[in-house]
């Protein structure tokens, strides 16, 4: 399984402080680097690899918070692995793209992870 170039998940009805706590417990040296409105920037590392994280509150309407790990050197190889962990730790519904954004992939095909169940679905986010 090839690592995705970055990881992005969407968490439903979760508070920013809960997401930050999860990140702080899971990663090394999580540090806030700036905020502007609902967009929060962090730096973090995992096994010596440093990367940026963007957390966007109310990314898709009022219910969703986006967490974007801007690296392929996160603890997860693909978005779905991260979504599984976030869903279990945060006890929340989490969605992620079904593929790694390769040419020909359906951009509206997503995984929905909740209570240990995974369902592939169509989610038009525009």
Q: What is the pLDDT of residue 74?
A: 95
Can you tell me the distance from the alpha carbon of 53 to that of 30, in angstroms, rounded to the nearest whole number?
A: 9
Q: For the chain, list the strands marked E by DSSP.
A: 7-12, 28-36, 39-46, 49-56, 64-69, 94-97, 109-114, 117-122
For residue 103, the 8-state DSSP code is T
Whether 103 has a pLDDT exceeding 60, the answer reads: no
Q: What is the pLDDT of residue 61?
A: 79
Give percent above pLDDT 70 in the chain. 91
């Amino acid at each position: 399984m090839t690592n995705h170039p970055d990881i992005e998940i969407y968490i439903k009805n979760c508070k920013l402080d809960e997401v930050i706590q999860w990140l702080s417990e899971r990663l090394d040296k999580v540090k806030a680097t700036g905020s502007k409105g609902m967009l929060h920037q962090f730096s973090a590392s995992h096994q010596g690899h440093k990367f940026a994280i963007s957390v966007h509150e109310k990314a898709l309407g009022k219910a969703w918070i986006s967490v974007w790990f801007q690296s392929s050197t996160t603890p997860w190889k693909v978005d779905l692995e991260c979504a599984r962990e976030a869903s279990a730790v945060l006890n929340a519904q989490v969605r992620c793209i079904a593929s790694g954004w390769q040419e020909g992939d359906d951009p509206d095909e997503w995984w929905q992870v909740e209570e240990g169940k995974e369902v592939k679905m169509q989610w038009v986010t525009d």
